[in-house]
């Protein structure tokens, strides 16, 4: 076997040992694996490559940092709680539309940050008590939140795994809106309806009112939602009227929208909120730094080329099996890492099919890693939100829907050229 194979095995082994035995953060473990891989290949400690790799995903890091601060701010002002209250009080007697909007509400933070955990810990935490008082069992409430958060991570406008794959094959993040909506929205709606609809057909509003967030609308009026309106307007302007005046960039859009939150709702301390938000986002930003280093060293040592060649040489049947099995399992460590280490070779092996549709399907499958032990970020946090002590009870409920999601993603890959005719504008 070629030396690149042994380097890859050593890098993965160092990474696994650092995570599971050393209890190092995932980002630090990736950096250690990168250094050992470079040493094994005879490059010493290549500081230039390590630093260059650490900046490879600066754009997604800035988006995540600014977006998570924005989400924490509008949560503090009471805007998120007010939206939850409005949905439930006005649609409690229309269970289909109520669950539909609750699903979109849970997904929203994931859609604008690219993080499933952002959705679980903000909107998921807000609606969890109300969902349980609507009659949905604790475990199924946690499952709804976990699955909606996963689909929110995949939905547009921000999909970090697609950005990572695109960075690996020089594919711009353009034209993904409809494919990513197709990949996420139908599954999110169907999953929530199957899990919760039968429990919410008869709702006693008086019983759930005490568990809804306190209304802020009477105090602040429509300006409570000003940061959300500004965000939507700026994002639409960037896409509908692309020029040098409207191309602000996502981090700047989030910063501007955050500034408009002052005096829009409940008062908040900006430094306290920003510190809390960045602290929550730091592990994910660290993962992206580590992935950048890992990828840079894989390219330097030839491991990346080795993986691509082997993936291209796989027979079609085993390639598809490898996609369905390896992406979620590797994603258990990091769905972002799976998107590059495996997603890029798989995308290159599937050349001839529309790359945008294929990348969307691959990231949908990779997102399931946020349900898989040992990290299981979306699942474990969803269990905490609903006070469920045993995460595996939630995982058991989610598994059939995870399998359907994997098959749906594979269907998108197989039918990529057909779907492209309808989804690529």
Q: Per-residue pLDDT for the chain (425 aa), expressed as one digit of tens each? A: 588 889 988 998 998 898 888 888 888 888 999 999 999 998 999 999 999 988 877 888 888 888 889 888 988 998 888 888 888 888 878 889 999 999 999 998 889 888 888 888 788 888 888 888 788 999 999 999 999 999 999 999 889 899 888 887 888 888 899 999 999 999 999 999 999 988 886 666 777 777 778 888 888 889 999 998 998 888 888 777 777 666 778 888 889 999 999 989 899 888 999 998 888 888 878 888 888 898 889 888 988 778 777 777 878 888 899 899 888 887 776 777 788 778 888 998 888 899 999 999 999 999 998 888 766 778 888 888 888 888 889 999 999 999 999 999 999 999 999 999 999 87
From CA 137, how far away is CA 128, in angstroms rounded? 10
The runs of H, that is alpha helices, within 92-197 are 95-113, 116-119, 125-133, 138-154, 160-169, 177-196
From CA 354, how far away is CA 375, in angstroms rounded? 32
- Residue 410 to residues 126, 150, 346, Cα–Cα distance (Å): 33, 17, 12
Q: What is the pLDDT of residue 94?
A: 86
From CA 112, how far away is CA 60, in angstroms rounded? 11
- Is the CA virtual torsion 145, 151, 154, 158 positive or negative? negative
**Contact present, 263 and 216 (Cβ < 8 Å):** no
Is residue 40 reached through a cis peptide bond, with omega within 30 degrees of 0 on the bond before it? no
Q: What is the pLDDT of residue 231?
A: 87
Q: What is the pLDDT of residue 246?
A: 63
Could you write out the DSSP letters of every residue in 184-226?
HHHHHHHHHHHHHGGGSSS--HHHHGGGSPPP-HHHHGGGGGH
**Contact present, 120 and 77 (Cβ < 8 Å):** no
Nearest by Cα to 338 from 350, 324, 318, 353: 324
Q: What is the pLDDT of residue 203?
A: 66
- The secondary structure of residue 262, as a DSSP letter, is T
**Contact present, 280 and 121 (Cβ < 8 Å):** yes
In the block, tokens 């082994």 appear at 13
From CA 179, how far away is CA 155, in angstroms rounded? 9
From CA 223, how far away is CA 217, in angstroms rounded? 9
Judge residue 202's burial from the number of C-beta atoms within 10 Å of its C-beta, 0-12 exposed, 13-18 middle, 19 or more buried: exposed
| Side-chain half-sphere CA neighbours of 276 within 13 A | 15
Where in the chain are the domains? 3-423
263 three-state secondary structure: coil
- Residue 339 to residues 28, 282, 334, 404, 407, Cα–Cα distance (Å): 18, 20, 9, 19, 17
**What is the pTM assigned to this prediction?**
0.80
From CA 178, how far away is CA 176, in angstroms rounded? 6
């Amino acid at each position: 076997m070629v030396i690149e194979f042994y380097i890859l095995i050593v890098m993965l082994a160092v990474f696994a040992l650092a995570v599971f035995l050393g209890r190092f953060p995932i980002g630090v473990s990736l950096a250690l694996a990168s250094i050992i891989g470079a040493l094994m290949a005879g490059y010493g400690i290549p500081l230039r490559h390590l630093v260059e790799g650490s900046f490879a995903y600066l754009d997604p890091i800035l988006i995540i940092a600014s977006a998570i601060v924005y989400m924490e701010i509008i949560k503090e002002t009471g805007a998120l709680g007010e939206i939850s209250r409005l949905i439930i009080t006005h649609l409690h007697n229309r269970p289909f539309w109520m669950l539909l909007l609750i699903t979109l509400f849970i997904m929203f933070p994931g859609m604008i940050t690219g993080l499933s955990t952002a959705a679980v810990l903000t909107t998921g935490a807000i609606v969890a008590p109300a969902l349980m008082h609507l009659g949905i069992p604790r475990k199924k409430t946690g499952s709804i939140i976990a699955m909606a958060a996963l689909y929110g991570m995949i939905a547009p406008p921000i999909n970090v795994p697609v950005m990572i794959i695109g960075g690996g094959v020089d594919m711009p993040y353009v034209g993904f809106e409809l494919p990513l909506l197709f990949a996420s929205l139908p599954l999110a709606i169907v999953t929530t309806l199957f899990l919760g609809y039968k429990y919410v057909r008869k709702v006693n509003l008086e019983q759930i009112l005490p568990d809804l967030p306190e209304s802020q609308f009477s105090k602040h009026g429509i300006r409570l939602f000003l940061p959300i309106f500004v965000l939507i307007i700026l994002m639409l302007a960037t896409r509908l009227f692309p020029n040098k005046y409207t191309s602000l960039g996502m981090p700047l859009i989030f910063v501007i929208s955050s500034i408009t939150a002052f005096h829009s709702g409940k008062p908040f301390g900006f430094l306290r909120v920003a510190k809390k938000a960045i602290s929550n986002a730091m592990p994910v930003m660290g993962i992206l730094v580590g992935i950048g280093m890992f990828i840079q060293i894989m390219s330097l040592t030839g491991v990346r080329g080795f993986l691509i060649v082997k993936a291209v040489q796989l027979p079609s049947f085993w390639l598809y099996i490898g996609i369905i099995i390896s992406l979620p399992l590797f994603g258990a460590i990091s769905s972002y890492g799976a998107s590059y280490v495996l997603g890029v070779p798989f995308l290159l092996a599937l050349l001839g099919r529309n790359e945008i549709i294929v990348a969307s399907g691959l990231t949908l499958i990779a997102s399931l890693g946020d349900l898989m032990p040992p990290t299981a970020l979306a699942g474990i946090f969803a269990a905490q939100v609903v006070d469920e002590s045993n995460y595996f009870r939630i995982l058991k409920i989610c598994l059939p829907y995870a399998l359907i999601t994997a098959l749906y993603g594979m269907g998108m890959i197989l039918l990529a050229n057909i779907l492209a005719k309808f989804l690529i504008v």
